[in-house]
A and B are shown apart, each in its own frame.
Chain A
Amino acid sequence: MTGTARATTPGEAYDIERIRADFPILGREVHGKPLVYLDNGASAQKPQSVIDTMRAVYEDEYANVHRGLHYLSATLTDRYEGVRETVRRFINAEKTSEIVFTRNVSEAINLVAASYGRANLTEGDEVIISVLEHHSNIVPWQMLRDEKGVVLKVAPISDDGEFLLAEFEKLLGDRTKLVAIAHTSNVLGTILPAKEIVRLSHDAGAKVLFDGAQAAVHMPVDVRDLDCDFYGFTGHKLYGPTGIGVLYGKEAVLDAMPPYQGGGDMIAMVTMEKSTWAPLPHKFEAGTPAIVQAIGLGAAIDYVTDIGMAAIAEHEHDVLTYATQRLSAIDGLQIYGTAPSKAAIVSFTMESAHPHDISTVIDRAGVAIRAGHHCALPLIDRLGVPALARASFGLYNTRAEVDALAEALEAVQEIFG
């Protein structure tokens, strides 16, 4: 896997200009203003190395994987399977057999609910989620509840968005089979106390799944250190392509689970009477996979690994601190989510303007944010607001872009008074 640019070398300062130059889209204008892209929580932009890698595969290396005996198929299969090793290292899993490719985190969670959930949970068993979950970590469990009679319990947060570990502990009991919780809130930015959640859950005999869609892009993730049973993250928020995500699962847990979907690639043997399953991880990957997207994900992981996730976290923390100061100073602006441990996400309301109106006005200044319910309606209800505006920062964002956001928000004040 070759990245075209090595953004920084170890020991070198965070070279933001060089990093920004790696992302061609950051050079464009929107409504005649330089693009200020602050919607990374929805999807991040792609570096040249990801774009080039994917184009090169289509132009020069493309074939199906796991099937052909011919040169292109064999070579591309090696390349595709090689990404599992890249992912394994990225999250420090023990084995590549623990890395299942999915379309996204939603599919990773649905896989666990449908396979692990259906096989292991019975009526009266309990699943614990939290109030700050994205819909993708709520709805699959509601479906399992409706199908199996499983009980869904919801761990609360404080008003400033902190996960209440002591309250969570009270929910754990003999019937708790699974805890499925966001590692980082997509709305509040709160980083949850993952290790403590795992320790308490395991003490109660429950397995733990983390929705890492937001966490894996903002900080180093070590699944063995966390000791979680499942971890999901997605490529497109990690500067990679859409259509590719990852479900990590401990080998013993995955091994005992039935397949999720049936089809090609996931079998060992098929007769008209019965079929046997392929070994891990292929048991969970029916049909032709997202081959080029997986290779693009590998290029994206190479890119962020070159910079270093710890360096990215440090840079983003600086931008977050500055954004928090700068936005707090705007009259009538209220920030939601002020937990001490927080990723670079700032959700807010303004007294004078609804989030949609905020978004429309600042879009005219080239500033892209998200406005609405952020696929987390129960959390929006909990906070008692109709909607939120959200600026979510990535590895390429700068303090100057925070200034552009703040100036655009001052224009909102001017219009709505």
Chain B
Amino acid sequence: MFDDLRDLYQEVILDHGKDPRNFRKPDEANREALGQNPLCGDQLVVYLELDDHGVIQDAAFVGKGCAISVASASMMTELIQGKTEAEADALFGRFRGMCTSDEEPDFADAGDEDMERLQVLSGVRQFPVRVKCATLAWHAMNAALRGEAQVSTEE
């Protein structure tokens, strides 16, 4: 087997891909957006429950996708719970930066615990056509925060 494939499909990703967390439609959701990748047909709906202070109390998703898009969605819903809209957006920015960066980042040194957990997805850097799989749920989360019903990834 090839090393870059092992990097891409780490155990954590395979685990989240097979057994995604927060894979449900919450009753209390007050924001939602459909993320779709028209080229491959992947579709994920991200649900958010925001409180009066703009804090994400619950995040969940349903849909169909590959191991990368499902694992990324699963990890995202875990990480953005308890964050404000601004914090969630900022994390998306850092995540997207990692997926498209030329260098292997070191988040442990920077004390960025969220990104340290997401670093298992950094293998997509070696598979440029798969970056949009990794960011699909994040785009949908971002659209839901902006009040948009859907978003498609063709970046």
Contact = CB atoms under 8 A, between A and B. Distances in A.
A373 B41 contact: yes
A380 B41 contact: yes
B14 A416 contact: yes
A353 B1 CA distance: 16
Contacts of A364: 2, 4-5
B68 interface: yes
B110 to A, nearest CB: 29
Interface string A365-380: 0000001110001001
A364 B123 CA distance: 14
A354 B67 contact: yes
B127 interface: yes
Contact of A414 (B1, B42, B64, B66): B1
B18 to A, nearest CB: 8
The listed residue with most A CB atoms (<10 A of its CB), out of B4, B39, B42, B66, is B66
B65 interface: yes
A416 B5 contact: no
A354 B66 contact: yes
Interface residues of B, number: 19
Interface in A175-220: none
A354 B18 CA distance: 10
Given A364-B2, A364-B5, A415-B9, A357 B40 contact: no
A356 B132 CA distance: 12
Interface string A405-417: 0000001001111
A360 interface: yes
Nearest to B129: A360
A24 interface: no
Given A415-B1, A416-B14, A357 B67 contact: yes
Interface string B10-29: 00001000000000000000
B67 A386 contact: no
A15 to B, nearest CB: 34
A387 interface: yes
Nearest to A372: B40
B40 A371 contact: yes
Interface residues of A, number: 21
Nearest to A377: B41
Given A414-B1, A416-B14, A360 B41 contact: no
B1 A360 contact: no
B4 to A, nearest CB: 7
Contacts of B34: none
A354 B133 CA distance: 12
B8 interface: yes
A371 B2 CA distance: 20
A361 B40 contact: no
B68 A357 contact: yes
Contacts of B83: none
Contacts of B130: 356, 360
A364 B2 CA distance: 7
Contacts of B133: 356
A386 B68 CA distance: 15
B105 to A, nearest CB: 22
Nearest to B64: A386
Interface string B37-76: 0011110000000000000000000001111100000000
A315 to B, nearest CB: 31
Contact of B5 (A355, A377, A415): A415
B65 A354 contact: yes
A386 B41 contact: yes
Contact of A356 (B1, B2, B4, B40): B40
Contact of A353 (B4, B39, B41, B67): B67
Contacts of A357: 9, 66-68
Nearest to A387: B41
Interface in A324-366: 353-357, 360-361, 364
A360 B8 contact: yes
Nearest to B43: A386
A415 to B, nearest CB: 5
A48 to B, nearest CB: 30
Interface of B: 1-2, 4-5, 8-9, 14, 39-42, 64-68, 127, 130, 133
Interface of A: 31, 353-357, 360-361, 364, 371-373, 377, 380, 386-387, 411, 414-417
14 contacts: A31-B2, A354-B65, A354-B66, A356-B68, A356-B130, A357-B66, A360-B5, A361-B5, A364-B2, A373-B40, A386-B65, A387-B42, A414-B1, A416-B9
Given A356-B130, A377-B41, 18 more contacts: A353-B67, A354-B65, A356-B42, A357-B67, A361-B5, A361-B9, A364-B2, A364-B5, A372-B40, A373-B41, A386-B42, A386-B64, A386-B65, A387-B41, A411-B1, A414-B1, A415-B9, A415-B14
